Structure 1
Amino acid sequence: MRRTLLLTAALAGLLSAAPAFADDLVRARVDNLSHPTKCAEFDNVYFTLTNPGVRAFRIEVTPPVYLADLKTDDTAPNFDHCEAMKDDPKFKFEPKKLTLYEDADTRILGFTHEVSWRARGAEVVIGDVDERDIHLVQVQKKVGDTFQEYLVVYPFDGYWRAKPIPPERFPEAAYGTSFLLGPIEEQHRPIVDIDRIEIDGKNLVFKLKFARGGTGELKVEKAERDGVGLAVKLDGLPAASDKQAPFAGIRSMFVTPDNADTARVVWRMDGGLFTENVMDFKSTSTDDVRFDRVELSKHNTSAPDVSFRGFRGAAE
């Protein structure tokens, strides 16, 4: 496997700075389970992060390096070459939209769609609301006179997506890479089966109880135009019967470097920073891994980069 030392000064400054708690860092094994596709609407990129000793880490979601110079943003779906997409099971629900929480700075909405591929999802609890059929939770921040969306979670399969507060010229800036937190399993696709999500709207904390065992917490520490910062804690996750179970993962899309939601893996080792195409990467152990793009994409051009950093063996 060809591994090229990354010398770009901007990325070196971003990724090589050691956190203040560097002595407590542990490494996670990063494995690539992706496969090629020609369909830009199919999540063919799948990476897992594994280490049974990891109890805390950070996720940083930042704009692509070219965003400041971007003239037009393409967020339209593209179903070319998607004839072979697999049909999901279909379960019917009564559609609805709920305001789960709102104050001067934050609004949290819940949506139930008419159809879902799973018959049930997590119990969602926030204030006086206690629901089991919410398919989508949106978190928004008040910016000027409007609320801007920057984080979503899908309680039915445990997928999360985040994006920086959109720039004024691209108010509908795209989401891109999804991430999974907790014990990943296969149910028609990789999922995390969440039994309960308890949301503290004021402090922007999501407490998770997983159906297979263990608990988690995601706290929004930052939501700005230059990025979203999330602090994650995990505890008591079950072990897989035949191998170590991943504690996190990403799903994304790659057709070509200029038609992708993520195109490169950048990781830190003792010898420096390294980068590789997402389809060529195999595996590594690292305390810092980033999934990004440097070429303009025809698809979800404004979609952000996602980094996992600061893996620790004990939560703060």
Structure 2
Amino acid sequence: MHLRTSAPFPIRRALAACAALIALAAGMPPAAQAAAATVTVENQTKPTRCAEEDNVSLLLRGGVKRFTVEALQPGYIDRIAQDTTAPDFSGCNFDGGDHPTDPKHRFEPRTVTLHEDAEWRIVGMTLPVFWRPQQVPVEVDGTRDRGFHMIQVYRRIDGQMKEALVMYPSDGYWRIKPLPLARFGDGVYGSSMLLGPVRQEGRPVVNIRDIRIRTQPDIRFDLRFAGGGAARIRLAEVSRERTALDVRFSRPVRGMQPFSVLRSMYVAADNADMSEVRWHGSGDAGAVAHMQPLPDFERAPGVGEVRFGRSEPSRHNTSAPDIRYSAFER
């Protein structure tokens, strides 16, 4: 009986090994290796003296269909005595509100609770002024609406709803952060991301045709892009350690068009939402093999994982998270 019950397992292992050898002999990698991918990261940051201006653009290119993006607590989180989150317009040519160069499209402001249960709340918000006129249809568990400039996702912790994600349907931006440590109140966002086929239209954007949000069994956003193709973006984890998104495209964003852009702010190493790029390639051992300060970083091909963050506390948005991309697949 022992031989009969245990025999299939070594047989299956042998068959799998044979299949891998046959694939290698035919010039094709085994399935697990074929799924892995690397990307190219390129820096198009422009200098600024304004701490409220997104001057950082880090482009990710490569024919990937799936990846993970996470917001992680900064490595110095335990050293923060005072979390500085107030706006700083000291080096800016504006003092709040809309950027002076932005178009101004006006709307009837409103706030709508799109979903709420014991654990989650999803809110849609229309702002009085926004820089783009697009009004993207949004459906949440079968209920349809449109015209929201922000969709906010909250998770309950310690009896309170705390925001962990906000996405902007009209221009395709996303911001994520871990649930805040108890001493930090609501916490603060830092860098933002574009997820999908990125285009330049005054600034980098992703044009979205429509959005479907499902709350069971997990919260996920199903997007259809205006130029074709689609994405499913699932909240894989929302915790005090990280907020993680599992991103899957219906088809890769090919050629030189970025599939994601990280947008952020950098004035100086101690006044930035991100100030360093850390990455490793598919052949590098360890979690991080390379690190460069943002002003020195130009381009990195063959990247298997990249983290945009800070080693030293910033005097602005001090607790803002690092952003890490990983698990790229073809």
Instruction: Mark yes or no: TM-score above 0.5.
Output: yes
Report matched runs for 1:287-298 at 5 Å: 287-298=304-315
SS of residue in 1 equivalent to 2:183: coil
Q: How far 1:232 sits from its partner (Å)?
A: 0.4
Counterpart residue number, 1:67: 77
User: Residue 184 of structure 2 aligns to a residue in which SS?
Assistant: coil
Over residues 131-183 of structure 1, what are the superposed CA-to-partner deviations in whole Å (9 max), with x where a residue is unaligned?
A: 22100000011112111110110111000000000111101211001011001
2:318 aligns to what? 301
CA spacing shift, 1:275–1:22, aligned 2, 3 Å: farther
Q: Secondary structure at the match of 2:307?
A: strand
- Looking at structure 2, the residues matched to 117 and 256 of structure 1 have their Cα atoms a distance apart, in angstroms, of 28
Given the alignment, which residue of 79, 87, 108 partners 2:89? 79
Bigger radius of gyration among the two: 2
Question: Does residue 1:58 correspond to 2:68, yes or no?
Answer: yes
Residue 188 of structure 2 corresponds to which residue in structure 1?
174
Deviation at 1:127, TM superposition (A): 2.6
Q: How does 1:259-298 map to 2 (within 5 A)?
A: 259-269=271-281, 270-272=283-285, 273-285=289-301, 286-298=303-315
* 1:123 maps to 2:131: no
**What letter is aligned with 2:204?**
P
Local SS of the residue matching 1:279:
helix
Partners of 2:221 and 2:105 in 1: how far apart?
26
Instruction: Return closer, same or farther for 1:64/1:238 CA change in 2, 3 Å cut-off.
Output: closer
CA, structure 1 residues 166+238, in 2 after alignment: closer, same or farther (shift >3 Å)?
closer
In structure 2, how many angstroms separate the alpha carbons of the residues matched to 1:222 and 1:249?
Answer: 22
Normalising by structure 2, report the TM-score.
Answer: 0.84
Task: After TM superposition, give the deviation of residue 101 of structure 1 in Å.
Answer: 0.6
Q: For residue 151 of structure 2, what is the amino acid of its counterpart?
A: V
Q: Secondary structure at the match of 2:180?
A: coil
- CA deviation after TM superposition for structure 1 residue 126, in Å: 0.6
Alpha-carbon offset, residue 223 of structure 1: 0.5
Deviation at 1:271, TM superposition (A): 4.4
Question: How do 1:1-316 residues align onto structure 2 when only pairs under 5 Å count?
Answer: 24-52=35-63, 54-83=64-93, 86-202=100-216, 203-236=218-251, 244-269=256-281, 270-272=283-285, 273-285=289-301, 286-313=303-330
Which residue type is aligned with residue 88 of structure 1? D
1:47-101 CA-partner distances (Å, limit 9, x unpaired):
111112x000001210001112211100111111212864211111111110001
Structure 2 letter corresponding to 1:165: L
- Contact 2:51 2:88 (8 Å CA) reproduced: yes
Kindly provide the amino acid, as one letter, of the partner of residue 220 in structure 1.
L
The 1-side partners of 2:44 and 2:276 are apart by 14
1:236 Cα deviation after fit:
3.0
The answer to whether the 8 A contact 1:65-1:294 is kept is yes
Q: CA deviation at 1:201?
A: 2.0
Higher helix share: 2
* Structure 1 residues 22 and 151, CA gap change in structure 2 (3 angstroms): farther
Q: Which whole-Å CA distance do the structure 2 matches of 1:173 and 1:148 have between them?
A: 9
Aligned residue for 2:28?
A: none
Distance 1:298 1:179 in 2: 22
Shift of 1:278: 1.3
Give 3-state SS (helix, strand or coil) of 2:167's partner: strand
CA contact (8 A) 2:253 2:259 kept: no
Q: Secondary structure at the match of 2:182?
A: coil
Q: Which secondary structure does the structure 1 equivalent of 2:54 belong to?
A: coil
Counterpart amino acid of 1:275? Answer: M
Which structure exhibits the higher relative contact order, with contacts defined as CA atoms closer than 8 Å and separated by 6 or more residues?
A: 1
What residue identity is the alignment partner of 2:224?
A: K
Counterpart CA distance in 1 for 2:252 and 2:169 is 18
* Gaps in structure 2 of 5+ consecutive residues: 1-31
Deviation, 1:129, is 3.0
* 8 A contact 1:290–1:305 mirrored in 2: yes
Separation in 1, partners of 2:201, 2:48: 21
Normalised to the residue count of structure 1, the TM-score between the two structures is 0.88
- Deviation larger for 263-272 or 290-299: 263-272
The answer to whether the 8 Å contact 1:45/1:278 transfers is no
Q: 1:220 offset after TM fit, Å?
A: 0.5
Q: Distance in 2 between matches of 1:297 and 1:121?
A: 36
What is the aligned length? 289
Change (3 A) 1:221 1:271: closer
